[in-house]
Amino acid sequence: MTTPLKYKWLSVRLGDVAEFRNGVNYSKANFGKGVKVIGVSDFQDNVKASFGQLEEINPAGVVRKEHYLKDGDILFVRSNGNRDLIGRSMFVENPPEEVTHSAFSIRLRFVRKDCLPRFYAYVLRSPLFRQSLSLHGGGTNISNLNQDILGRLQVPLPPRPIQHQIASILSAYDDLIENNTHRIKILEETAQMIYREWFVNFRFPGHEDRTFLESEWGRIPEGWSQPYPDYVDFLEGPGLRRWQYRDSGLRFLNIRTIADGDIDLSKTQFVDPEEAEAKYKHFLLSEFDHVVSSSGTIGRIVTVRREHLPLMLNTSVIRMRPKSESVGRWQLKHFLKSDYFQTQIKAFASGVAQMNFGPSHLKLMKIIAPPDEIGREYESLVGPMEELICTLTANNAVLRNTRDLLLPKLISGQVCVEQLEIETASPIL
């Protein structure tokens, strides 16, 4: 049954209200200092562009005045080897004076004052836009986006005050997500700093009274370099066959579901619960297990949270679980993120089509294992930070899901904006 529209808005061709420009072409010879460049790798799933860690190029002979981005611009991925990324968009807000974008992207800039760029930044990220883009682009996974395709797209044109209301509601969610993300970053940096101080620089409480010996780690406390299997229980998934997949049931984890430091449950697939209970019970994950990708982009780490469960391992990921108080769950997480571990698994990795490592390699590894009392002290110090990181990450997942459910209903006119603004103001602000 179709939901009746609260509003019946006009629609316009995007090309009638905006202008487009492809990004700049440059090569390695242009790398240098001068102008920051947003590339396809900078899009990810960001709503807004970030300007802190961009490549820079020498603008001479490459960048002209009209290539610089302005507040309110919207960027699209024009071309990429991964077709899922084509058409992904990102809003430009308060950019530095000299920042541009690569030739693999298209810039949209509105030319009419009755179009609020922030509102259309949400419109152009909606499923409605994606469906329209596929229709005009010749299929679900278009191979290239161009200005002509964008220009033909129909977009709603509500009154500007309505645009502002909708953008304000959705932006409130994004502001909360951004604030949580900032807090997560600070907490992660603090926890990693403590780990490095205690277990890389070995300036832990009482280090002055310890005997240090030379090892593969450099000078470390005597007895701290131990076999990895003695302190960590690790398990790789069973390698389910496609004929075992179901449309519903028990979710299982693989490398496709690990993204941006979290588990994307929307990408998980299912196995029959009775079959899982009979054959795969020991592959079930628990809260605060750490999972590491062992194939493709190896070494990506995610911590399992309560809301992910029930969840089962599958191939190409390895579950890590501490065995003792000497190496607790959060010390283990930081070890898995350490340069030592990441370098080791890359050295072990093999494969032609894609790199992979496995449990046989972990059996050869060592781990820093302090006495139990130091391990407990570290967990008591870092544990509250890491649990808050999990809480904030879970909150962000809820906020994103709520925003993404609201988005198509708001921009299509199915939801009464004034009523929603009243109802959502309290929990959002």
Per-residue pLDDT reduced to its tens digit, 142-173: 567 889 989 998 899 999 999 999 999 999 99
Residue-level pLDDT at 143: 66
* 8 A C-beta contact, residue 271 and residue 249: yes
Closest CA to 199 of 22, 333, 47: 333
Residue 426, pLDDT score: 36
SS3 366: strand
Residues 344 and 347: their CA atoms lie apart, in Å, by: 5
pLDDT tens digits, residue range 193-244? 999 999 999 999 999 999 999 988 889 999 999 999 999 999 998 888 888 8
Q: How many residues does the chain have?
A: 429
* Bridging pattern class, strands 31-38 and 55-57: antiparallel
Residue with tokens 């299929």: 139
Task: Tell which residue, 359, 48, 329, 353, has the closest CA to residue 195.
Answer: 329
Locate the domains of the chain by residue range. 12-156, 225-369
Pairwise CA distance, residues 186 & 137, whole Å:
42
Query: Which CATH homologous superfamily contains domain 12-156?
Result: DNA methylase specificity domains (3.90.220.20)
Q: Which of 103, 208, 202, 192 is CA-nearest to residue 145? A: 103
Q: Which CATH number fits domain 225-369: 3.60.15.10, 2.40.290.10, 1.10.645.10, 3.90.220.20?
A: 3.90.220.20
Q: What residues does 262 pair with on adjacent strands?
A: 259
Cα separation, 195 vs 380, in Å, equals: 13
Q: What is the pLDDT of residue 83?
A: 67
User: Rounded to two decimals, what is the model's pTM?
Assistant: 0.82
CA dihedral (69, 51, 267, 408) positive or negative: negative
| Beta partners for residue 37, in sequence order | 55, 100
List, for the chain, all residue ranges whose pLDDT scores fall below the cut of 50.
1-4, 137-140, 422-429
The one-letter amino acid code at 315 reads: T
Q: Could you check whether 12-156 and 225-369 share the same CATH topology?
A: yes
